[in-house]
Structure 1
Amino acid sequence: MEFEKFKEIRELLCLKHPEVTEGKMMSSPAIHYNNKVFAFFSRKYRMVFKLGKDHSLEEYDFELSEFSPFKTKKPLVGWYEVDFEYRDKWETLTLKALESIKLN
């Protein structure tokens, strides 16, 4: 069920934007823009977004966590993960991540 929501978002974006494609990030299913990952589905049943290091988290009324895939390293700068509990926010965050990567 969790993965189905991710697939739905990915398919929608791939249909609407020719430069958006399916791909992988750390062996997980991902969404790419011009071969650069901006969102993916983590093994923890969360969706992870590259929103950028200057992205303000204060505008959200739900929890975004810094994405930290490594036990001994710092979190990845500008990457945030959101639990399945907030799946209704995933599409909006995916669009924000897409806009952010287009600017860089």
Structure 2
Amino acid sequence: MHKAEQQFEALIEHFKNQPEITEGKMMSSRGLQYKGKNFLFNWDDKMCFRLGRSFDPASEGLHQYSLLNPFKSKPPLKDWFVFTTDFEKWPLLADIALAKMKEELG
């Protein structure tokens, strides 16, 4: 099992006491959802978080990231950030992504 997959399993454990969080799929990859909408997913040994366009990774001390760009002929998805390192920050990023999703969906 890759490190990102192990960390994804840890995130499932992180949210286990929140029944509104369910496991789902995004781009054929395992993810976590709130009210049926993904706020994070494990993709290609990376973790993708829907943090929003106003999120500044540097504010959390993160400098190694990219925007999700799964399409060859389309621009990146500006709300989604991709991380391959800084595993210790992933629970914080998951909490931020969930809070953003709750704010949007009510």
Does the residue aligned with 1:78 lie in a helix, a strand or coil?
strand
| Count of aligned positions | 101
Does the residue aligned with 1:77 lie in a helix, a strand or coil?
strand
Superimposed CA distance per residue, residues 46-94 of structure 1 (whole angstroms, 9 cap, x where no aligned partner): 10000011222330322221111111110112100000x3111111101
* TM-score of the pair, normalised by structure 2: 0.88
Q: After the TM superposition, which parts of structure 1 deviate over 4 Å for at least 4 consecutive aligned residues?
A: none
Identity score, percent: 34
- Is 2:59 the counterpart of 1:86? no
The separation in 2 between residues aligned to 1:16 and 1:93, in whole angstroms, is 18
* TM-score of the pair, normalised by structure 1: 0.89
Partner of 2:8: 6
The separation in 2 between residues aligned to 1:24 and 1:11, in whole angstroms, is 17
Q: What amino acid sits opposite 1:49 in the alignment?
A: F
CA shift at 1:11, angstroms? 2.9
In structure 2, runs of 5+ residues without a counterpart are none
In structure 1, runs of 5+ residues without a counterpart are none
1:1-104 counterparts in 2 under 5 A? 1-2=2-3, 3-13=5-15, 15-43=16-44, 45-62=45-62, 63-83=64-84, 85-104=85-104
Q: What amino acid sits opposite 1:57 in the alignment?
A: P
